[in-house]
């Protein structure tokens, strides 16, 4: 006897909307955006974001926080 399994490919969520940044000082910024809502193709809702930064003279990204 054989069984079948349904496989659903994961789909990346869309990017946050309305991204804005404001310089607070020469070494600090504030970033805001609108959270993506809903699901796409049966996927799970977005539950968090990670923000990375890099110096323009470097290729390494660092997690902000």
Q: What is the pLDDT of residues 15-62, one digit of tens each?
A: 788 999 999 998 889 999 887 766 555 566 777 888 898 988 989 999
pLDDT, residue 19, reads 92
pLDDT at 10: 67
**Separation in Å, CA 54 to CA 7, 15, 32:** 37, 19, 18
CA–CA separation, 35 and 38 (whole Å)? 10
- At residue 38, the pLDDT reads 62
pLDDT of residue 5: 75
pTM, to two decimals = 0.56
């Amino acid at each position: 006897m054989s069984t079948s399994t349904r496989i659903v490919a994961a789909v990346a969520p869309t990017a946050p909307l309305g991204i804005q940044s404001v310089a607070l000082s020469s070494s600090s910024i504030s970033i805001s955006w609108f959270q993506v809502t809903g699901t796409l193709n049966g996927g799970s809702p977005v539950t968090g974001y990670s923000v990375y930064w890099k110096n323009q003279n470097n290729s390494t990204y660092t997690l902000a926080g």
